[in-house]
Amino acid sequence: MLSSFFIAFREGLEAFLIIGIIISYLFKTGGRRYIRQVFLGAVSAIALSVGIAFLFELLLGGFEGKKEQIFEGSVMLLAVIVLTYMIFWMNKQAGKIKSDIEVSVEKAIDKGRIFSLFFLGFIVVFREGAETVLFFRAISYQTASKELIAGAAIGIISSIILALIFFISTIKINISLFFRITGILIMFIAAGLFSESVHEFEEAGILPAIRNNVYDISRFISKDSVAGGILKSLFGYNPSPSLLEIIIYTVYLALIAVLIRRFFYKASKIGK
């Protein structure tokens, strides 16, 4: 539930903030008549994302045995790659995203390209929607459907509330810092997905386990317990991993440490 919450919260907030920036700029520049085009683009993107989710399930949800393990491992690995890229990209762009969006809107209005505003609203929401479909498919192998839906719903509602606070209140939110912190949390989710994808490839015989069940702490924290469920959602907890899973997870966490150093200390190094 927590993993679906964090992903839905972050993806939803990114989409709502960018749409909010577009609408705010249109209000400020007297372009209210174009807001309808932005909304139509956003709604179209939501509809297409939902359609892709159903199509994804219809066409790719019927595998069994080795094919199912390979498919699940591949989806998880793809989700890890996209999550990692997304975190890098968003943290790089967060500081200037507002000005870039406003420039794009102004150019579209000046050149009379109304469809560009529809496309801008569409592509912003569709990008987040498509990513969410992929991520949810990946974590669906780790989380029960009810928990997945509940976490997603709470995450979306929370992202809407925070986006509204950002635009209508006097509270100052450091968006760049916010995306860095949530990015680190999602990196832990990605590390768990990475480890789980390796497990699926081991089960399929594509990767060697090297050594199975290096340790077993299920007596202390079962993955079916409340604590185990929370740890699995946030950190990909496995009470009895293989050696290769441990290696992959540790290497990925090392990457997180590098990212933390880069995100939080790069500015101070430049200033010296």
**Token digits for 102?**
């406003």
Q: Residue 101 class from Cβ within 10 Å (0-12 exposed, 13-18 middle, 19+ buried)? A: buried
pLDDT digits (tens, 9 = 90+) for 143-201: 777 778 888 889 889 888 888 887 776 566 666 677 777 777 778 888 888 888 898 89
Amino acid identity at 262: R
* pLDDT < 50 stretches in the chain: 267-268, 270-272
> Which one-letter DSSP state was computed for residue 105?
H
Structural domain boundaries, residue 108: 2-271
Residues whose CB falls within 8 Å of the CB of residue 23, separated by 6 or more in sequence, listed in order: 35, 38
Please state the domain count of the chain.
1
Distance CA 67, CA 226 (A): 31
**Token digits for 181?**
């912190």
The vertex-147 CA angle with 212 and 250, nearest 5°, equals 35
DSSP letters of 231-248?
HHHHH---SS--HHHHHH
pLDDT digits (tens, 9 = 90+) for 6-17: 788 888 888 888
Distance CA 150, CA 70 (A): 28
Helix axes 97-110, 2-28, angle to 10 degrees: 50
